[in-house]
């Protein structure tokens, strides 16, 4: 059976990456979400094992020591990390594994797995991003400035990604991401097995 590939999707807060990925998984069963581990508290509606594996700091550190995390980072005071098991389970089912991680984690994945495909989702403009953060109505003005500054730092890393997708229209952005997945699956470097059949 064909083994899946690694995909990384990153975007600053407010760019709609969760919505895009939810739509993507409705439209394809060739890719699955590699559930990360985190020490942050669950938000309303988040389910352990589905959105994240919610761990204590001790549990997380034990996993690091046992080399059960492919990469991890500390973001806003909490650990976040990709579990090797989450990724391997998907790859062994022949599915592509999608990692929804921040920029430094993405760079570490690329270093460790040069064939990983990195996708960065951009807002249509800085103004549009600020408007989206404001329209959520959940953030104070200080928080909006902080998130916008964080977004500017994150977008600097976009130059190291393989694909850029602008989330102006949701359904178009999902189409774009599906197109990236499809094209990547067809790359010769991911299909050497196929060529062997024709020897």
Q: Which residues bind ligand 5GP (CB under 6 A)?
A: 36, 40, 71, 73, 75, 80-82, 100-102, 105
Q: How many Å apart are CA 3 and CA 139, to the nearest integer? A: 42
Query: Which of 25/191 has CB closer to ligand 5GP?
Result: 25
Task: Name the minimum Å distance from CB 94 to ligand 5GP.
Answer: 22
Beta carbon of residue 36, minimum distance to ligand 5GP (angstroms, whole number): 3
Tokens representing 150 are 């964080």
**C-beta closer to ligand 5GP: residue 40 or 85:** 40
79 versus 181: smaller Cβ distance to ligand 5GP: 79
- Do 102 and 154 touch, CB atoms closer than 8 A? yes
The two beta strands, 69-75 and 117-122, are: unpaired
For residues 28 and 73, which CB has a smaller minimum distance to ligand 5GP in the complex?
Answer: 73
Residue 30: CB partners within 8 Å, gap ≥ 6?
4, 95, 96, 181, 185
Task: Supply the minimum distance, in Å, between the C-beta of residue 63 and ligand 5GP.
Answer: 11
Look at residue 165 and give its three-state secondary structure.
strand
Q: Which among 91, 93, 95 has a CA at the least distance from the CA of 70?
A: 91
Shortest distance, position 141 Cβ to ligand 5GP, whole Å: 20
81 vs 123, beta carbon nearer ligand 5GP: 81
CB of 1 vs ligand 5GP, minimal distance in Å: 26
* Inter-CA distances, 1 with 4, 47, 93, 95, Å: 9, 31, 8, 10
């Amino acid at each position: 059976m064909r083994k899946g590939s690694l995909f990384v999707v990153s975007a600053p807060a407010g760019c709609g990456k969760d919505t895009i990925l939810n739509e993507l998984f409705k439209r394809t069963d060739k890719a699955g979400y590699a559930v990360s581990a985190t020490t942050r508290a669950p938000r309303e509606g988040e389910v352990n094992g589905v959105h994240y594996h919610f761990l204590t700091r001790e549990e997380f550190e034990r996993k690091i020591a046992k080399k059960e995390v492919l990469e991890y980072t500390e973001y806003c005071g909490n650990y976040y990390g990709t579990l090797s098991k989450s990724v391997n389970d998907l790859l062994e089912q022949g599915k592509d594994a999608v990692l929804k991680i921040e920029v430094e984690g993405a760079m570490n994945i690329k270093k460790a797995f040069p064939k990983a495909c990195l996708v960065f989702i951009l807002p249509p403009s800085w103004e549009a991003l600020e408007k989206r953060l404001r329209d959520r109505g959940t953030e104070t003005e200080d928080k909006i400035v902080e998130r916008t500054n964080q977004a500017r730092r994150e977008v600097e890393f976009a130059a190291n990604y393989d694909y850029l997708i602008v989330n102006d229209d949701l359904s178009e952005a999902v189409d774009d991401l599906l197109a990236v997945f499809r094209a990547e699956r067809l790359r010769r470097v991911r299909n050497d097995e196929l060529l062997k059949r024709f020897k």
